Each structure stands twice: as C-alpha cells, then as structure tokens.
Amino acid sequence: MHNTYVVRTVAAPAALFFVESIEDVPHGAVLVFSAHGVPPPVAEEAKQRSLKVIDATCPLVTKVHLEALKFAREKRTIILIGHKDHQEIVGTSGEAPDRTIVVDSVEAVDRLEVSDPERLAFLTQTTLSLYDTQEIVTRLPSEISQDRRPEERMTFAMPRKNRQEQSSKWHRTSIDFWWLARRK
C-alpha cells in the first residue's frame, strides 16, 4: 500500500505502526509487508517470530522478484536500475544479492565492471517510469540480448487503485494492531 490515507483508513480502528525493522514488531503480531516487497530474510524472520503476515506486495513487484530469481538461476549478473535505498530495490536485490548490481545513473553504468558481459540481464524499479529509466537503459551494454530485457509492461507500475481497494477490505477484520514493514 502506498497511499498514507488508504493505509490509515484500512487499519482503522486498529492501532497502526510503521516499522523499519521486524525487531520492532512484537512476537505473534500482525505484520503487513508493504507494496514494495521485502527481501527473503525479512519474510523468514517474520516466520521465525510467529508473526501473522499479510503480504501486500504489489503483484508487479513480485513478478520482478521472480525475474531476478530466474536470472540468478541462469548465473546472470542482474543490473537493477533504481534507487539503492528504495524499499523496492532493497527487496528485489535481496532475492539475488550476490548477482545484483544496482545502478541509478548513466555514470554508474559507465563504471560497471562485470565478469562476463555475455551473461547480463536487467530489471527496473517499478515505481520509476520509462522516461526515468530510458537514458540508463540505452547506455547498458549491447551484450544484453533482447530475451534478457524485461517487457515494458512488466517492469513499470500500473495504477495502484485495485490494490488499494483490495486492501481496504481488511479494515473489516478483527485485527487490533497493524505493523507495516518498510525495509529491514
């Protein structure tokens, strides 16, 4: 969920807390993963702490996570275009941390050093527009074959209205507390 008003409306009348770390969530509480997703260690820690997880990860972000896993299985270096501290990039790069390089500018692409230029793939932060990433994408090494380039419709976010409407149904539940995980 992205929209603060929707988040607060969905959670009412329960208490709502935004946390940066799962350590801040009481054992056994309800935890909502944000639309930006979380890296696998966060999901695992939530399970270990017996948290009741509501995964509100955007389906588009989930698709990008799955692509990252696929590229990692293929032993490709993943060039992930986005802002390194953005929650979505933290989650996506967490799917294949040893295979992912985050770039946020043409200059970062120019500094890229990869061991095998023939085994590259790229993904983008879904909250960035085609316009935001176009210059970086055109600067990527030409060795990235067309089948290792994501489909435009897959990597750029669609309107969030449907997701927010779906989430609004949760406010009718008997949840006393909501904990929204943002990053760690």
Just list the catalytic residues: 88
Diameter of the chain measured on Cα atoms: 54
Beta strands in the chain (DSSP E): 15-19, 30-33, 52-55, 77-81, 100-103, 120-124, 177-181
Question: Distance of CA 110 to CAs 81, 100, 113, 130, Å?
Answer: 13, 16, 9, 20
Distance, C-alpha 55 to centroid of its chain: 12
Please give the Cα distance from 46 to 130 (Å, whole number). 34
Please give the Cα distance from 27 to 23 (Å, whole number). 9
For residue 96, give the 3-state DSSP assignment: coil
